[in-house]
A and B are shown apart, each in its own frame.
Chain A
């Protein structure tokens, strides 16, 4: 169903398999994402949605298959003879630097202010001068609407504000691909909007590639270029939001979407 793309993918999963014991979370998964594309990932719990993001961020390893970020393999590297071997830390760190992630539970550093949270990695990892990092961090926090909260600790911020700090923190590393793992699931409903607005803004103003696991069907429909429905560790059905939400072809997709509709 998919036409051959002329653009080279920025992220590419080839036959990726991962299991926990007997349970196969990712089952020979194939997925190509083109630069700038916004991909929404939906599906029932346990279908491997979050695992897809987690293996891409190298929070978890894979059992089989290859993951490619631009021209580099993520979990493997060629040795001197050109044979693929498991990647060493240095290789992983270099390739991983192109990816940023925002978590469901924010995961801010609790002993640092909003500003320090955003400055830390650019200074430590990119070797940026503290003054420059500070300036950029302030700009990023301004971008996510927290210009007045620079000196606040996470415990002094609402969930929505914490999540926006987390987005600024990830952006500070200048990733090419941003992963959003159910970023509004831990938030009270009235706080989701401010976070989604920030993501909308990023989508409009930056040419970031985004992969988001989400339960916000409305947001997926309006924001994504493509929607992937996950089932049993595979992409069961994918297409434009209009195709998936209005004319789903697969029975599982229909069942999932109507179950979600009922819950809302």
Chain B
């Protein structure tokens, strides 16, 4: 028996690549949900209005304090009892997006808090409404310093997608397990999945770094 069976590896590559598209898709759409929802949660939490800040704080703390695995289980297996049913893929994307939205909300909060209070005073003195203030004045200043942690969460999220195999989403890890159990040989598929994550993580980190540099030049 060879240590690493290249023929076998070559054979299973197309199946793994197909499943990897799911992994990439989940990550990208999930991250999009996370950065948009996270922003609203962060702004909600900072609001002076209690009916906005308390629920936002509650959601953030609750979701951050429970495992992703339990959350997606709940969404996939329990919600249908209450008439909400989605496909495994939909639940997976939504669940991971929601989970990371809460982490990212805290990153936004850090960035927003770091914008000097004097900027808000200028905003008030010019009578600018909160929405325009956030969009044109506060966020552009808050965003640059939080890009590195946002990049971190993008990579962390990518590496968390195998959790979704627990609710039958066939992402790359689930596919590798399937292949392994069919052929009684795990070394090649699991190694290949590991390499896939390694390569993609490094590529994403590189892209985030490029973005940082571009924004720094302004």
Contact = CB atoms under 8 A, between A and B. Distances in A.
The answer to whether A binds B is yes
Interface of A: 57-59, 93, 96-97, 99-101, 103, 105, 107-111, 120-121, 124-125, 169-170, 173
Interface of B: 118-119, 121-122, 124-129, 132, 136-137, 140-141, 218
The 5 residue pairs across chains A and B that have the minimum distance between CB atoms: A121-B126, A107-B122, A101-B125, A124-B132, A107-B118
B126 A111 contact: no
A109 B124 CA distance: 13
Given A109-B137, A111-B218, A121 B127 contact: yes
Contact of A103 (B118, B136, B140): B118
Contact of A120 (B121, B137, B218): B137
Contact of A173 (B127, B136, B140): B127
Contacts of B132: 124-125
Tell me which of B122, B124, B132, B137 has the highest count of chain A C-beta atoms within 10 A of its own C-beta.
B122
B80 to A, nearest CB: 43
Most buried by A among B118, B126, B129: B126
Contact of B127 (A97, A103, A109, A111): A97
Contacts of B125: 57, 59, 99-101, 103, 170
A178 to B, nearest CB: 10
B119 A109 contact: yes
B126 A58 contact: no
Nearest to A166: B122
B118 A170 contact: no
A169 B126 contact: yes
Given A110-B141, A111-B140, A125 B121 contact: no
A58 B118 contact: no
A103 B119 CA distance: 11
26 contacts: A57-B121, A57-B124, A57-B125, A58-B124, A93-B129, A97-B127, A99-B125, A100-B125, A100-B126, A103-B118, A103-B121, A103-B122, A107-B122, A108-B122, A109-B137, A111-B218, A120-B136, A120-B137, A121-B126, A121-B127, A124-B128, A124-B136, A125-B126, A169-B126, A170-B125, A173-B127
A22 B118 CA distance: 25
A170 B119 CA distance: 14
Contacts of A108: 122
Contacts, number: 55
A97 B125 CA distance: 8
A97 B124 CA distance: 10
Contacts of A170: 125-126
Contacts of A58: 124
A124 B122 CA distance: 14
A59 B124 contact: yes
Contacts of B140: 111
A99 B118 CA distance: 17
A174 to B, nearest CB: 11
Contacts of B124: 57-59, 96
B127 A93 contact: yes
Nearest to B121: A59
A160 to B, nearest CB: 18
Nearest to A179: B125
Contacts of B127: 93, 96-97, 121, 125, 173
Nearest to B140: A111
A169 B141 CA distance: 19
Nearest to A124: B132
A176 B189 CA distance: 73
Contacts of A111: 140-141, 218
A107 B122 CA distance: 6
Contacts of B136: 120, 124
Q: Which of A105, A107, A111 has the most CB of B within 10 A?
A: A107
Contacts of A59: 121, 124-125
A107 B132 CA distance: 17
A72 to B, nearest CB: 14
Contacts of B141: 109-111
Nearest to B135: A124
B120 to A, nearest CB: 9
Contact of B119 (A96, A99, A107, A120): A107
Contacts of A101: 125
A169 B137 CA distance: 14
A103 B118 CA distance: 9
Contacts of A57: 121, 124-125
